[in-house]
Amino acid sequence: MEKGDSARDTGFKAAFAVGEFRALWAAEALSQAGDQLARVALSVLVWERTASAGLTGLTYGLTYLPTLIGGTLFAGLADRYPRRTVMIAGDLVRAALAMLMAVPGTPLPVLAGLLVVLTMAGGPFRAAQLALLPDVLEGERYVAGLAVRTITIQTAQLAGFGGGGLVIGLVTPYWGLVIDAVTFVVSALLVSTGVRRRGPAVTESSVKSRVARAFSGEGARELWRGKGIRVLFGLKMLAGFAIAPEGLAAPLANGLGAGSFAVGLILAADPVGSVIGSWIFTKWVPARRKTRMVGILAIASVVPLLFVFFRPPLPVCLALIGLSGAFAAPYHLQAVALMARAVPDGVRAQVMGLTSTSLVTVQGIGIMLAGGLAQLTGPFVAVGVAAAVAVAAAGPMVMAWKRAIATGPDVWLPAGSRAG
């Protein structure tokens, strides 16, 4: 039996058996919970002070968009400095900024500026974490760890808004920001005590050369040089089409004659499917099959959305969106695992940061385009068209992925599964 397929090396229990992973997981779980609480707190705070839906929406957007800058420009710091140090520094910076935001009476422009910097600091933190995970978990344990991370994030999205609203209902929005700051401090303590010290991936002779190399764009060049990595990157970007139902949740619910409760169900369908799909993929799919399934899972993740075009009843619509998430989550986590293993350690954080932020970017663009199309054709047609374009785009990439496996099996396939 292959090591990667043995019970002791696969599954969630094997990942949680590693103490460093437990520390990283707990730190991220706390940060996710704090971030969701802060989003609710800031939305309530801005609404209470301005009664402006536009400013409230802008503030909510600022909790996401600056991550693109942080993840793209500053991810390289996690290759030139110890990744553990980058994570701790990122947490402490965000804790200090959250405390400043929690000061009552802070002018809204100052609050927005602090929020932008805080969100940007999350970019290098996530890049460092994703780059560190392959050092903490080996083989199939790494895939299991990524699955746990996916489930944690999706669960936080499901529980965060309801739980955040309850907390803010019991305390003031300012105290919600204080709680967010505390989660960052605890996260930094978990990383500092639970993750062992490692040197930087690449050692430079001076601080100046470290910073210069961190901003050199090596990660983007690495993505472009490797054909298989380019294909994996392209397959991940299909999420820009698959997110259409989330962006159109309210129009879809209205078109089905359902109430506001249905909006929450539509938003929850994909995360629920993602959790189920990640669990099945990690627990039941052998390592030798996971890599070969990436392409077919990518297409399968958008095919169910084609049928939303026909305006199915709400239960069927929810099942289709959930099925899309169930197929999407496994191929995304496997693609991340393959990319992290294939790129040199010295640019891993840059590649992971660029991939992560690009994913957020295409999702934002996808929502805007789907919204514009829905304005002209209706939400059901918009979702169906987005899915059709995704299927058409995925076809050539799936074929390219099959060729990449055939021509470079030593890079992509686990030992013992490279023949045939």
Query: Residue 207: what pLDDT?
Result: 46
Cβ–Cβ < 8 Å for 32, 153:
yes
Query: Residue 200: what pLDDT?
Result: 85
Of the listed ranges 35-49, 104-118, 132-146, the least confidently predicted one is 35-49
Bigger pLDDT: 227 or 46?
Answer: 46
In whole angstroms, give the CA distance from residue 71 to residue 197. Answer: 23
Total residue length of the chain: 420
pTM of the model: 0.76
DSSP string, 24-42: HHHHHHHHHHHHHHHHHHH
Architecture of domain 11-215: Up-down Bundle (1.20)
Cβ–Cβ < 8 Å for 10, 282:
yes
Going by pLDDT thresholds of 50, 70 and 90, the confidence category of residue 172 is: confident
Query: Residue 2: what pLDDT?
Result: 38
163, with CB counted inside 10 A (0-12, 13-18, 19+), is middle
pLDDT of 185 higher than 90: yes
In whole angstroms, give the CA distance from residue 194 to residue 70. Answer: 25
Query: Residue 330: what pLDDT?
Result: 92
Which helix (H) or strand (E) covers residue 349, if one does?
A: helix 348-377
| Residue 88 token pair | 């701790």
Token pair 């397929």 is found at: 5
pLDDT of 80 higher than 60: yes
Query: Residue 216: what pLDDT?
Result: 47
Query: Residue 93: what pLDDT?
Result: 94
pLDDT of 12 higher than 90: no
Cβ neighbours for 203, distance < 8 A, ≥ 6 positions apart = none
Query: Residue 206: what pLDDT?
Result: 44
Query: Residue 214: what pLDDT?
Result: 44
Where would I find the H helices in 195-293? 207-214, 218-225, 227-236, 239-242, 244-247, 249-255, 260-284, 287-290
Cβ–Cβ < 8 Å for 382, 366:
no
Architecture of domain 217-410: Up-down Bundle (1.20)
Cβ neighbours for 105, distance < 8 A, ≥ 6 positions apart = none
pLDDT of 49 higher than 70: yes
Share above pLDDT 90 across residues of the chain, in percent, rounded to a whole number: 33
Query: Residue 212: what pLDDT?
Result: 45
Going by pLDDT thresholds of 50, 70 and 90, the confidence category of residue 215 is: very low
Query: Residue 8: what pLDDT?
Result: 45
> Which amino acid, residue 218?
E
Query: Residue 156: what pLDDT?
Result: 73
Query: Residue 7: what pLDDT?
Result: 40
Query: Residue 299: what pLDDT?
Result: 95
Span 257-284, average pLDDT: 86
| Residue 218 token pair | 């090596």
pLDDT of 416 higher than 60: no
Dihedral class, residue 203 (left if φ above 0, else alpha if ψ from -120 to 50, else beta): beta
CA distances from 7 to 145, 367, 418 (A): 15, 41, 21
Span 310-336, average pLDDT: 95
Query: Residue 415: what pLDDT?
Result: 54
Cβ–Cβ < 8 Å for 256, 249:
no
DSSP string, 31-79: HHHHHHHHHHHHHHHHHHHH--HHHHHHHHHHTTTHHHHHHHHSTTHHH
Query: Residue 267: what pLDDT?
Result: 81
Average pLDDT, the chain: 82
CATH 1.20.1250.20 in the chain is located at 11-215, 217-410
Bigger pLDDT: 291 or 166?
Answer: 291
In whole angstroms, give the CA distance from residue 282 to residue 145. Answer: 9
Query: Residue 209: what pLDDT?
Result: 46
Cβ–Cβ < 8 Å for 114, 59:
no
Query: Residue 4: what pLDDT?
Result: 39
